[in-house]
Amino acid sequence: MTTKKLKVELADVVSTQGYEIHSKVFDEDVCNKTRIEFLELSNANARYIFNDKKNDKKRKSCPPPRNHPTINRLIEFLKVVYPELNPSRGDILFSKEGCKEQQLHTDYEVTDELVELCKISKAPLSVILSIMDGTKIKIKPFNSDVQIINLGVGDVFVFRADLVHAGCAYDKENVRFHLYLDSNDVKRVKNRTFIV
């Protein structure tokens, strides 16, 4: 398995634009294998997560297997690029064909304290690893309208705790992986999102 050459210094786009994309961190072969392994888990272990106002039960999640090589490699990558933050175990996300869009939300409570930390680039972050083409996420950047970020196979999307976003609608099945990069300075409320 190969990862892209690691960029040690953190380019501070996350603190200015609220997100950044690391392109093609993982090879397509690795992603395909990972996708198949993750899909096998979805039937047995996944639970429905919040989706549209009226949950269509087409978006599920489950924890990754312990010691999965792709997740281990992702965590290694993130620890180099964001050394001050602590990766959570994360969740595999599954959207079935026809899955509706989520409501716009943040993953962390946007308190005054969080806003202050964002100013000094010490904010916690959220991460989506795209393991197939067609992965996307809706975001509402700080100074512009909502937009869709399209991710290719192997891309890693990193966004700030206060960035408003929503999982997209999917007309084809999609599997992806989500984790948090927590900060020692901010408590994350587990299993909660904050609808805006």
What does the binding site for ligand AKG look like in residue numbers (CB under 6 A)?
49, 59, 93, 107, 137, 165, 167, 176, 178, 193
Q: Toward ligand AKG, which CB reaches closer, 81 or 128?
A: 128
- Is residue 162 a contact residue for Fe ion (CB under 5 A)? no
In the complex, what is the shortest distance from the CB of residue 167 to Fe ion, in angstroms, rounded to a whole number?
7
**From the list Fe ion, ligand AKG, none, partner contacted by residue 106 (C-beta under 5 to 8 A by kind):** none
**From the list Fe ion, ligand AKG, none, partner contacted by residue 3 (C-beta under 5 to 8 A by kind):** none
In the complex, what is the shortest distance from the CB of residue 37 to ligand AKG, in angstroms, rounded to a whole number?
19
In the complex, what is the shortest distance from the CB of residue 164 to ligand AKG, in angstroms, rounded to a whole number?
10
Distance CA 40, CA 25 (A): 23
**From the list ligand AKG, Fe ion, none, partner contacted by residue 60 (C-beta under 5 to 8 A by kind):** none
Distance CA 142, CA 92 (A): 27
Span interacting with Fe ion, options 11-19, 34-42, 72-80, 100-108, rule CB under 5 A? 100-108
In the complex, what is the shortest distance from the CB of residue 94 to ligand AKG, in angstroms, rounded to a whole number?
9
- Is residue 107 a contact residue for Fe ion (CB under 5 A)? yes
- List all residues 6 or more positions away from 132 whose beta carbon is below 8 Å from its beta carbon: 31, 32, 35, 153, 174, 175, 176
- Is residue 91 a contact residue for Fe ion (CB under 5 A)? no
Measured at CB, which residue is nearest to ligand AKG? 167
Q: Toward ligand AKG, which CB reaches closer, 107 or 182?
A: 107
Distance CA 104, CA 83 (A): 29
Residue 44 neighbours by CB distance under 10 Å? 7
Buried b (16+ CB within 10 A) or exposed e, 56-83: eebbbbbebeeebebbebbbebbeebbe
In the complex, what is the shortest distance from the CB of residue 166 to ligand AKG, in angstroms, rounded to a whole number?
7
Q: Are strands 164-167 and 86-87 parallel, antiparallel or unpaired?
A: unpaired
Distance CA 178, CA 193 (A): 14
Binding-site ranges for Fe ion (CB under 5 A): 107
